[in-house]
Structure 1
Amino acid sequence: MKKQLLYSSFLLLIGCTAVAQNRDAIKFSQTINKDNAYKHLSVLASDEYEGRETGKKGGWMAAEYIKNHFKSIGLKGPVAGDYFQPINLVSYGLSQIVTVDGQPAEALNDFFIMPKTVSAKGFAFNANSILFAGYGLTKDGYNDFVDQTLTGKVVMIFKSGEPGSTAPATASLRNSSALNAKLKYLAEQNAQAVLLIDPLVDNMPDNVRGYLQSEEMVLKNKETTDRMEVAQPMPVISIGTALANKILAGASTSIETLKKKIADSGKPSSQEIKISVCASATKVENKVRAENVLGFLEGSDPKLKREVLVITGHYDHIGITPDAKGDDKINNGADDDGSGTTGVLLIAEAFAKAKKAGKGPKRSILFMTVTGEEKGLLGSEWYSENPVFPLENTITNLNIDMIGRGDKAHESDNNFVYIIGSDMLSSDLDRIGKKANKTYVNINLDEKYNNRTDPNQFYYRSDHYNFAKHGIPVIFYFNGVHDDYHMPGDEVSKIDFPMLAKRAKLVYFTAWELANGLKRPVVDKNDDGTPKM
């Protein structure tokens, strides 16, 4: 009797387990495997794709590859019949000129202007004299501006340091609050412009030079247009030692002479220097071709198919670094985010095969690889402002950004993935995602970064956030950063393909539950994490 009861209980347990695991979900997940992952990633992260930078040839090649895959597996192009959603992206270069006594100075060698400090209107000035005002200090017992009129003047000051200081010139460069205080004072006194004598110009690091040479890329929408139109309080130009001494030669003096005089006397040595200095800077706007790539799978349930699950990964990366050390200059971005893009392609194919077999999801799924993530989440921001499907019908965003490797915290066991955001807005989504993992995949779900106070701010640093800020529940899947993050060493050869496939399967099974569930995840938390009343 007991033996028979035990046997019956065993059969019941098997039956319950079989019910818990959906056989169709398992069947169609088989296309998500390491071999198919390698097939896609070996193309997307190849040297031929030149690091897939937004607005460059490699990025366009990646977009075409993804589009062709979506088309080949039977997904529909939901953007008026197309797979591309163009984003209104522009770049701003800086045309900048400085002349001293009629002689042109060389940008980045003699001077530089921070691009973001120049409005769309630009600036220009033509001064017949310069006011040298030492360290630009106003404090008890010492005032570089005493008896000086600043209104309408071009003022030249040392960016950092104090009278008599023996510290290296670069020692206080990081003290931005002190510099900001100087600039604020000069703006309040209606100075026309400021020339900062800056040691950084004399020995400029490659990364700073690269930043100053790069073009600022922004979405062309009302918010950015309004921001670009805002005029700065006054132009600020950083100049090197050589250019500063050329200006000071108009008064037969030099930087070292003036520093010694101020240090020895303990008094300012501010003075008017009769020399002409002209400068101008203008923003040059260029249209950038960039597009999100969308593939749509319509749901099978007449009532539920209007609801849409969105699965995302960004296909762009940071392109080529000409001054990178060594022979390899291409940032292939195999992990960031070739791995996530590959995951989206694999999951899309699995669901497409399910639909062809008559087992398609009840709700619709939008598979979207976005561009411009590395430029500031621009592609996903554009979609959230110009959604192809109403945001109120979007039930969840599952975002995949780096699932092909691991970090130092998991060197001994790579069977993990960080999940971020799953419980930020919806307890339902958190429960569904963790249940899918327990039922099908059994990966260690690390929630170390699943909070808004994480110093790394990962919750705000990938494309899911442009859905979360609109109240749409999200899960961000992530394997952490590593030594090759944003470096040419992020190569296909270093990818853990079995784990890439396993993490992609976790997203797939979570998506299966969401797309076929009786109800969409309830949003029961506010953006700050407090319960909705």
Structure 2
Amino acid sequence: MHKTPAQGVSFHRKIDIAPSAVAKLFGMSPDEFKSVSNDIKDGRKREKTYKTKLLMKTSYKKHGIVPTENVLGYIEGTAKKDEFIILTAHYDGRGKNGDVVLNGANDNATGVAAIIEIAEAFSIALDNGHLPRRSIIFMMPVAEELGGIGSLYYVENPAVPLKNTIVDINMDPLGREDTERPDLKNHVHIYCSKNGGVDLNDIRTKVGKEFVSSLRIEIKKSYKGSDNVMFEMRGIPAIAFTTGQSKDNHGPGDDPDRVEYKNSKISQ
């Protein structure tokens, strides 16, 4: 276990804003904003950053300190055992909304299932005398939905030196079609951070053809919506696997019977 006491984490602000509100800020219709957003995601348009000032009034309710833990597993490597690959998938969701239980089957039980399957495959290989060259950490961080608190705590209190961590591979989520891209079926997005020095075409060839030829692979640069961000902010290359955002994510409809398990084959 990797304890994450609230007092041990830098204060982290997370603001969710509806796409309709962003469209209004930019003087666009919701459809226009969605079109521009898809163009940026697909690389047809470049992102731009502008300096601005924002004044907000907020209120909050203090709930006290809630002790919780990241969950870590470890397999030691051989030739390069002092170099570490870390696999991440957050293990909790939104919990409850009043009396309504938010199961989080897709977001992110599918990512957790993928990590467990991968860990089991390495464990079987280990029993048969096959060890990885580099050491591997399997981490299921807590409180991603509250702004990546578990992964933030980890990079501020790492189990191994960050300078020896060569890549984070994040999975979140892996079980539904992308609501924002209904034209894509049986697919997975792979996002690579800009500091990774990764050959995207090489990834497409190896992952898309050798292992999961039935899945459509879309490879893009950088993904800002999950735990990989905390590693990228520390200069650690990151790769994020996701099937995209479902309309049921974070809601009562994110149930096991709605998960499209064929998409989770990317964990192979």
Within 5 Å, which residues of 2 pair with 1:80-91? 84-89=1-6
Bigger helix share: 1
- Give the structure-2-normalised TM-score: 0.75
Task: Check conservation: 2:155, 2:231, Cα contact below 8 A.
Answer: yes
Structure 1 residue corresponding to 2:235, chosen from 452, 471, 477? 471
- Please name the residue that 2:175 is paired with: 404
Q: Does 1:504 align with 2:261?
A: no
Structure 2 residue corresponding to 1:359, chosen from 105, 112, 130: 130
Q: Shift in Å at residue 495 of structure 1?
A: 0.7
Match of 1:426 in 2: 196
Of structures 1 and 2, the larger Rg is shown by 1
The alignment status of 1:345 with 2:116, answered yes or no, reads yes
Distance 1:431 1:468, change over 3 A: farther
Cross-structure match for 1:287: 65
- Identify the residue that residue 494 of structure 1 maps to in structure 2: 258
Does the 8 A contact of 1:406 with 1:481 survive in 2? yes
1:481 to partner: Cα distance: 1.4
Deviation at 1:429, TM superposition (A): 5.4
Answer yes or no: is 1:306 the counterpart of 2:82. yes
Q: 2:133 is paired with a residue of what secondary structure?
A: coil
Q: Would you say how many aligned residue pairs link Structure 1 and Structure 2?
A: 223
- Which of 63, 83, 96 is the matching residue for 1:320? 96
* CA distance in structure 2 between the aligned counterparts of 1:403 and 1:409, rounded to whole angstroms: 15
Distance 1:451-1:412 versus aligned 2 partners, 3 A rule: closer
Residues 429 and 85 from structure 1, CA distance in 2 versus in 1: closer, same or farther, beyond 3 angstroms? farther
CA distance in 2, matches of 1:417, 1:504: 11
Q: Cα 1:385–1:412, aligned 2, differ >3 Å: closer, same or farther?
A: same
- Structure 1 370/436 Cα, relative in aligned 2: closer, same or farther at 3 Å? same
Q: Residue 481 and residue 375 in structure 1: after superposition, are their counterparts in 2 closer, same or farther (change >3 A)?
A: same
| 2:82 alignment partner, SS class | coil
Q: CA deviation at 1:410?
A: 5.2
What TM-score do you get using the length of structure 1 for normalisation? Answer: 0.39
Secondary structure of 1:320's counterpart equals strand
Shift of the 484–215 alpha-carbon distance from structure 1 to 2, 3 Å rule, reads: farther
State the identity as a percent: 34
Unaligned runs of 5+ in 1: 1-83, 91-115, 117-176, 184-210, 217-285, 324-328, 453-458, 506-533
1:166-205 matched pairs, under 5 angstroms: none
Give, in whole Å, the separation in 2 of the partners of 1:481 and 1:412. 14
Query: For the residues of structure 1 that align with 2:128 and 2:175, how far apart are their CA atoms?
Result: 30
In the alignment, is the contact (CA less than 8 A) between 2:92 and 2:142 conserved in 1? Answer: yes
Report the Cα distance in structure 2 between the residues aligned to 1:429 and 1:291, rounded to whole angstroms.
35
Which residue of 370, 373, 378 maps to 2:141? 370
> RMSD over aligned Cα, in angstroms?
2.8
Letter in 1 for 2:195: L
Aligned partner of 2:212 in structure 1 is 441
1:198-246 CA deviation, whole Å, 9 max, x = no partner? Answer: xxxxxxxxxxxxx967547xxxxxxxxxxxxxxxxxxxxxxxxxxxxxx
TM-aligned CA distance change 1:312 to 1:487, over 3 Å:
same
Task: Identify which of structures 1 and 2 has the higher relative contact order when contacts are C-alpha pairs closer than 8 Å and 6+ apart.
Answer: 2
**Other structure's SS at 2:101 match:** coil
Conservation of the 8 A alpha-carbon contact between 1:396 and 1:472? yes
Q: Could you tell me how far apart the structure 1 residues matched to 2:104 and 2:78 are?
A: 36
Aligned ranges for residues 67-466 of structure 1 at < 5 Å? 84-89=1-6, 214-215=61-62, 286-301=64-79, 304-322=80-98, 329-408=100-179, 411=182, 414-420=185-191, 422=192, 424-428=194-198, 430-437=200-207, 438-442=209-213, 443-447=215-219, 450-451=220-221, 459-466=223-230
Question: Secondary structure, in 3 states, of the residue corresponding to 1:395?
Answer: strand
